[in-house]
Chain A
Amino acid sequence: MTTIETPAPQPSGALSSGSRLMTLAGRYGTFVAFLALILFNVAVTPNFLSLQTLNVNLTQVATIVIVATGMTLVIATGGIDLSVGSLMAIAGALAPMIFMGQFWQVESMGFAVALAFLLPVVVAGLFGLFNGFLVTRFSIQPIIATLVLFIAGRGIAQVMTNGNLQVFKNAGFQFIALGRIAGIPAQVLLMIVIVAAAWAMIRYTVIGRQIIAVGGNEKAARLAGIPVKRVKLFVYMLSGALAGVAGLIVVARNSASDANLVGLGMELDAIAAVAVGGTLLTGGRANIVGTVLGALVIQLVRYTLLANGVPDAAALIVKAGLIITAVFIQQRAGRH
């Protein structure tokens, strides 16, 4: 029961209108699915149109969208980043250690909290840079290059915390997840800012166009004088840093950091959002808005099913169908 409209098989002779329908479905399918889900919920799910429902869904989707934004850029260059979940765990382990004074005595809490925001993101960005270094310097395939930190990264986070749960209460730090600005959750605002910046970067800046060019045709991009290696280093670094931000949000939301669990499976959630959002894994395209819609559709499907009493396990199966249907339609649309 996927909600993306699959065009009915056309009788022979009507092929052109059938393929046009595919193209339309490929371009607007995710958006239509999103609208259909909202309409369905308005009609069926009790109390759907409430600020609380909106906030619940947006806060649950915020971390996925933030990570998936970085993932979209990496995938646009023809790469992939499997390490994001582990980098979330590293950032999430690091932040509480800073403001809880495990590295050095905390003298000013304000300063410590500022560091707890800054340092983990920088560290995650540096790990991302390491991914980019493996990809560019040694021409290692991105799946394998980022697999190294997927495996080792969570281990690093676990070793740092000795696998222990870090529980904390720190209003300043937790503002990133629990705070509100003008009634809107801070993490949702952060998500919007990040998405808008990435969107503008792709659309209006040189580096944005270079990212697309590298993924479209790397050889041609290099011949055209684009610094391919630097572009790749940049996207992997950005993906790492954004994963770091998401890691901070998760631990702030939970008032606890568990290196075994923070970001577990996030790489696949983010890739699924990117795929459903219409960025093909082959690179050369970066549909940031699509990624947001993809993440929202996946989240809304899950919410719809849960709100209507369907078990979470069944939602997994529906999610699988959704991914396959969305990618299938987009590939068909792309071919015509």
Chain B
Amino acid sequence: MQPILRLFMVKNTSDLARLGVILALAGLILFGALRYDNFLSPYNILSFLRYNSMFALIALGMAFVIITGGIDLSVGGTAAMASVVAALLSPYHWAAGLVGGMAAGLAVGALNGFIITKMRIQPFIATLATMLAAYGTGLLMANNQSVSVSYDTGFTVIGQDDFLGFPIPAWIALAAYVLGWIVLEKLPIGRHILAIGDGEATAGLMGLKVERALTGVYLASGTLAGLAGVILASQFGAGQPTEGVGWELFAIASVVVGGTLLSGGSGSVGATLAGALLLAMVFNILNFENGLGWISLSAYWQSVIRGAFLLVVVVLQAKLMARHRSA
């Protein structure tokens, strides 16, 4: 067992958890490819990527926040508000919608950073409050209705069109993940973020700029949620002030399935992407299984199965951790 693990560069238990999610994803893809005719058809792959890029973006921001030992419950509300802002600005220019939506997310992130670092309120409570505020603001701006986007300025291209054969949202998510990987693995700020998650007080004593790094991760999470909102508005043709309910908890689940511990201090960008794709693929496979006609599982089973997935992952993680501790 040991040499095999070394082959995959597994050094510790969290590496093992990350390897696990990637293997599980590969297994699920293999299962789908063997069992269903059109599973690997371009149509299925492209629409899968187009739709799930939003969730992947939010999960990326959440991974950074969780690595610092925090949590961001405001992402769903932020995405909803940003989709409204983007839709309202889309008649002026497609870029106005894009930048406006991201700026709305950035603003929520800045507020989170301020409340957490300056007022010293726990991230859970702080972002719970800003979630409510973001929903409220979005609903006020949208007058409690969904806001139709403009089809004349090219705004809908962002969510609906392809570039070099791949959906533009997928390109955006890919770029964000590459950037996130560089920040976490290659830049000094990445080390700071990991150090804060290991112990905020220690990191402060080491002279790391804790407040700045913490504010940074909430800004990133807010902006990514804003970007997801822009894609939401562009893909479905409307800003939707009531969308995004529960997105934060699914993002947390993706991050946890990706092997990032909620206690902070470790985490991987790549495994987060695998975690997000894994949870999304459960739904995709369920659709295909229904299509076969052998069984008829209602769409409601997807939550049950996702929950079961999360359960298996966290129990395995806990067992690995326990063995690690006793070893």
Contacts and interface: CB of A to CB of B under 8 A. Distances in A.
B245 interface: yes
A239 B138 CA distance: 33
Given A150-B249, A159-B301, A144 B314 contact: yes
A141 interface: yes
A323 B302 CA distance: 34
Given A139-B322, A148-B314, A324-B119, A155 B129 contact: no
A15 interface: no
B249 A82 contact: yes
Contacts of A306: none
Interface string A109-145: 0000000000000000000000000100011110111
A139 B263 CA distance: 12
B252 interface: yes
A144 B300 CA distance: 21
Contacts of B136: 313-317, 319-320
Interface string B127-156: 011111101111110001000000000000
Contacts of A139: 318, 321-322
Interface string A271-287: 11001000001100000
A162 B299 CA distance: 9
A311 interface: yes
Contacts of B307: 148-153, 155
Given A144-B256, A147-B249, A155-B307, A317 B315 contact: no
Nearest to B252: A147
B298 A316 contact: no
A152 B130 CA distance: 26
Contacts of A141: 262-263
Nearest to A141: B262
B12 interface: no
Given A155-B301, A158-B300, A313-B144, A320 B130 contact: yes
Contact of B311 (A148, A313, A319): A148
Contact of A138 (B115, B144, B318): B318
A235 interface: no
Contacts of B133: 316-317, 320-321
A333 interface: no
Interface in A151-166: 151-156, 158-159, 162-163
B322 A311 contact: no
A265 B245 contact: yes
Contact of A140 (B304, B305, B315): B315
B124 interface: yes
A159 B298 contact: yes
B119 to A, nearest CB: 5
Interface in B233-253: 245, 249-250, 252-253
A66 B263 CA distance: 30
Given A148-B311, A159-B304, A317-B136, A268 B318 contact: no
A141 B321 CA distance: 12
A323 B127 CA distance: 11
Contact of B304 (A156, A275, A281, A282): A156
Contact of B314 (A140, A282, A316, A323): A140
28 contacts: A134-B315, A138-B322, A139-B318, A139-B321, A143-B71, A147-B249, A151-B307, A152-B306, A155-B301, A156-B304, A159-B301, A162-B298, A163-B298, A268-B73, A275-B125, A281-B122, A311-B140, A311-B144, A314-B136, A315-B136, A316-B136, A317-B137, A319-B129, A320-B129, A320-B131, A320-B136, A323-B125, A324-B119
Given A281-B125, A317-B137, 8 more contacts: A138-B318, A152-B310, A268-B132, A311-B140, A313-B137, A313-B144, A324-B126, A324-B129
Interface of B: 71, 73, 115, 119-122, 124-126, 128-133, 135-140, 144, 245, 249-250, 252-253, 256, 262-263, 298-308, 310-311, 314-315, 318-319, 321-322
